[in-house]
Amino acid sequence: MLDRKSAPQFVEVKDFQLPPANIDALSNGIKIVNFNEVNQEAVKLELVFATGKWHEPERGIAQFTAQMLEKGTSSKNSYQIAEHFDRFGASIEINPGFDYTTVSLYTLSKNLKDVLPLFSEITQAPSFPESEISLATSITRQNLKINNEKTSYVAGKKFRELIFGSHHPYGSSLEESDLIAINRNKLIEFFNSKFRLHEVYLTGQLERASYDRVREAVLGYSAKGSNGINRIVNESTERNHSLYSERPDSIQSSLRLGKKIINRSSPDYPTITLLNHLLGGYFGSRLMKNIREEKGLTYGIHSSISALKHDAFFVIGTDVNKENRKSALEEIRKEVAALSEKPINSTEFELGRNHLLGSLQLETANPFAVMEKIKTIRLNQLSTDFYSQLFTNLQETDSITLQEVAQKYLGVDSLFEVSVG
């Protein structure tokens, strides 16, 4: 019988090991990464295409190409496609990103044979119906009008533009004027020339016959080689470090502060990850205590590191009443500067580090999350023990090292600043 009067014994986890995945290299050059340590019937089949914003010739082409995949094939229209997947309790998820586009199928293992053929069809032979393209651009136009009225949306957009430049794939954003140039011929051309299947990630326990169906389906994708992208982005280094866009009719200001930062491949990445966590990565962070709890300037404030394939950036984000904009910015800068001025005390250091270590473990609480970690390693060409080393390095670091890394990367004068509202 479960003893509810006594707390469970505390056990300190000393290492972090991802369970291994099986790698099946097919004759067409495509690899299936298969994680089958699953005790449930749910299956996720994820196709990763090396086709994101980084690869598009014009803004919006990658996004709309991906968006149109499930809108029609030669055999079915969008309604029939949706009805077929609904009938078997399956769903499709399409995520066009900066570097890759992922197309995922969620289904029960027993229904895989019924939905896999149509899933393969929409990712290999979409028809790009004119009516669907027109509808999608119209909806996007309306959404952009709404979003551009939101200070938080505009602040995020302007921040990326400020640190990367307006013509950089990571800094540019889709605008209403770009929608005029979107047409069926451009989407078809982009799909045929750039939509390359990079790898396949399969999570779920399948019988041999079902796995063979997946294998046969993946063999249907031709290995077209490199997509020919060797993008060189030249941006002026003379950009302003600060931008304030006042909106007289707005009662709040959205703030973003940050800069380009080191990527996962840097030996300092574990330390900068912990610094970010202590600064604004969880509810007990310095920014939350100061800006929210002590000063009462916001409901929430956070900092994060977005590690992309070709670069990475650090950002602090919050929304405050317009009259508190300057004081909030001053307090944020004060907290960033404090990281370089003196070592973090042991109590704060241990609490934040233990929270981060626990969060890493929770991020592998289910099979799909485990596969996300495996995918991150593979797509970023990291060592297979990346997360194990990250966990170990976090345990071995100290407050003096944190201070040195803060001085190296988080100087207050190096931060870009955006205020909207």
Tell me what pLDDT residue 2 has: 62
Is residue 268 within 8 A of residue 338, CB to CB? The reply is no
Q: What angle do CA 338, 296, 406 make, to 5 degrees?
A: 15
As given in the structure block, the two tokens for residue 233 are 């982005």
**CATH 3.30.830.10 residue spans of the chain:** 22-219, 242-420
As given in the structure block, the two tokens for residue 165 are 């430049």
In angstroms, rounded to a whole number, what is the distance separating the alpha carbons of residues 335 and 61?
Answer: 41
pLDDT grade for 15, boundaries at 50, 70 and 90? confident
Tell me what pLDDT residue 238 has: 58
Is the CATH code 3.30.830.10 the one for domain 22-219? yes
Q: Is the per-residue pLDDT at 10 higher than 90?
A: no
DSSP structure class, residue 126: B
Q: What angle do CA 315, 320, 323 make, to 5 degrees?
A: 130
Tell me what pLDDT residue 17 has: 85
Q: Is the per-residue pLDDT at 222 higher than 90?
A: no
Is residue 360 within 8 A of residue 16, CB to CB? The reply is yes
Across residues 45-64, what is the average pLDDT? 95
Candidates 195, 218, 214, 176; CA nearest to 101 is 195
Give percent of the chain with pLDDT exceeding 90: 86
CATH of domain 242-420: 3.30.830.10
Is residue 118 within 8 A of residue 76, CB to CB? The reply is yes
pLDDT grade for 227, boundaries at 50, 70 and 90? low
Question: What is the DSSP pairing of strand 416-420 with strand 242-245?
Answer: parallel
In angstroms, rounded to a whole number, what is the distance separating the alpha carbons of residues 216 and 24?
Answer: 12
Instruction: Please provide the average confidence, as pLDDT, over all residues in the chain.
Output: 92
Give the start-end residues of each E strand in 270-359: 301-307, 312-321
Tell me what pLDDT residue 270 has: 97
Tell me what pLDDT residue 7 has: 67
Question: What does the pLDDT look like over 251-307, one tens digit per residue?
Answer: 999 999 999 999 999 999 999 999 999 999 999 999 999 999 999 999 999 999 999
Phi, psi of 12 (to 5 degrees): -90, 125
Tell me what pLDDT residue 16 has: 79
Q: What angle do CA 354, 358, 360 make, to 5 degrees?
A: 120
Tell me what pLDDT residue 345 has: 96
Tell me what pLDDT residue 268 has: 97
Q: How many CA atoms lie within 13 A of 303 on its CB side?
A: 30
Tell me what pLDDT residue 240 has: 78
In angstroms, rounded to a whole number, what is the distance separating the alpha carbons of residues 280 and 293?
Answer: 13
Q: Which residues pair with 306 in a beta bridge?
A: 313
Q: Is the per-residue pLDDT at 233 higher than 70?
A: no
Tell me what pLDDT residue 45 has: 98
Question: What does the pLDDT look like over 92-132, one tens digit per residue?
Answer: 999 999 999 999 999 999 999 999 999 999 999 999 999 99
Tell me what pLDDT residue 40 has: 83
To which H or E segment does residue 197 belong? strand 197-203
Q: Is the per-residue pLDDT at 372 higher than 80?
A: yes
Tell me what pLDDT residue 354 has: 95
In angstroms, rounded to a whole number, what is the distance separating the alpha carbons of residues 386 and 211?
Answer: 29
In angstroms, rounded to a whole number, what is the distance separating the alpha carbons of residues 334 and 287?
Answer: 10
Across residues 163-167, what is the average pLDDT? 93
Question: What does the pLDDT look like over 320-371, one tens digit per residue?
Answer: 999 999 999 999 999 999 999 999 999 999 999 999 999 999 888 889 999 9
pTM of the model: 0.91
Across residues 314-323, what is the average pLDDT? 97
pLDDT grade for 175, boundaries at 50, 70 and 90? very high
Give percent of the chain with pLDDT exceeding 70: 93
Is residue 276 within 8 A of residue 261, CB to CB? The reply is no
In angstroms, rounded to a whole number, what is the distance separating the alpha carbons of residues 315 and 113?
Answer: 44
In angstroms, rounded to a whole number, what is the distance separating the alpha carbons of residues 61 and 301?
Answer: 33
Q: Is the per-residue pLDDT at 8 higher than 70?
A: no
In angstroms, rounded to a whole number, what is the distance separating the alpha carbons of residues 406 and 87?
Answer: 54
